[in-house]
Amino acid sequence: MTDRMSNERPSDSASAGRSAPVLDDIAYRILEVLRENGRLSMAALAERIGISRANAYSRVEALIDSGVITGFSASIDPAKAGLSIGAHVFVTVHPQAWPSFREKVREMPEVEYCAVTTGEHDAMLMIRATDVGGVHDFSTGVIAQLPEVRTVVSVVILDEVVRRPYILPTDIPARAPAESLGMTRWTPAPGAREPLPPR
């Protein structure tokens, strides 16, 4: 690793549901500063945090080795880059078809993000397109054509109010516990589902 951090990513990253590593205040501060500017030099990072350059270097290396930092990349405005339309595509998948579905989705260049979810649908895809027609073409001509897929529901995004690179536990304010669930509603799945196969 050079003074200016590399863009290399490890092949495996932590996924949702796994236990989080224990980080101290300096580690969280490093992550906060890198969120603002991932290209910051080690010397500048050390100065911002108030630690030595050697300490900053070893701490960033430790965050990478432990899988907390999974890589460094540029953030862009999709609309200004030519992708003016975004959509969430909700998919239900046939039981026993998950391994094949995962592999096919990973190869789709339109998919910015895909997550397995609870509720009425099995997975949510975030896609980008140059126009609404591109969303339609993807939804009906690509994802709906997969033999692994049962149903597809597309929701076009009108405005992205908040989009952060990542959030940290230190960002979340302390709040009094809610007295009731309020408007929270869990949507039951239609019928029984097979458990997800291990990856």
pLDDT at 196: 57
The pLDDT-based confidence of 9 (bands split at 50, 70, 90) is very low
pLDDT at 14: 43
Q: Can you tell me the distance from the alpha carbon of 31 to that of 164, in angstroms, rounded to the nearest whole number?
A: 13
Domain of 45: which CATH number? 1.10.10
Residue 96 lies inside a defined structural domain of this protein? yes
* pLDDT average, residue stretch 127-138: 96
What percent of the chain lies above the pLDDT cut of 70? 79
Q: Is the pLDDT of residue 198 over 70?
A: no
Residue 112 lies inside a defined structural domain of this protein? yes
**In total, how many domains does the chain have?**
2
Candidate from 3-17, 52-66, 147-161 with smallest mean pLDDT: 3-17
Instruction: Say how many C-beta atoms besides its own lie within 10 A of residue 85's C-beta.
Output: 18
Q: What is the pLDDT of residues 186-195, one digit of tens each?
A: 555 555 555 5
Q: Can you tell me the distance from the alpha carbon of 45 to that of 40, in angstroms, rounded to the nearest whole number?
A: 6
Looking at the structure, tell me whether residues 91 and 149 fall in a common domain.
yes
Q: What is the pLDDT of residues 28-52, one digit of tens each?
A: 999 999 999 999 999 999 999 999 9
Question: Whole domain around residue 53: which residue ranges?
Answer: 25-65
Is the entire prediction scored with pTM above 0.95? no
pLDDT at 127: 97
pLDDT at 8: 43
Residue 1 lies inside a defined structural domain of this protein? no
pLDDT at 158: 95
Residue 149 lies inside a defined structural domain of this protein? yes
DSSP codes joined into one string, the chain: --SBPP----S----TTSPPPP--HHHHHHHHHHHH-TT-BHHHHHHHHTS-HHHHHHHHHHHHHTTS---------TTTTT--EEEEEEEEE-TT-HHHHHHHHHT-TTEEEEEE-SSSSSEEEEEEESSHHHHHHHHHHTGGG-TTEEEEEEEEES------S---GGGSPP-PPPSS-TT--PPPPSS--PPPPP-
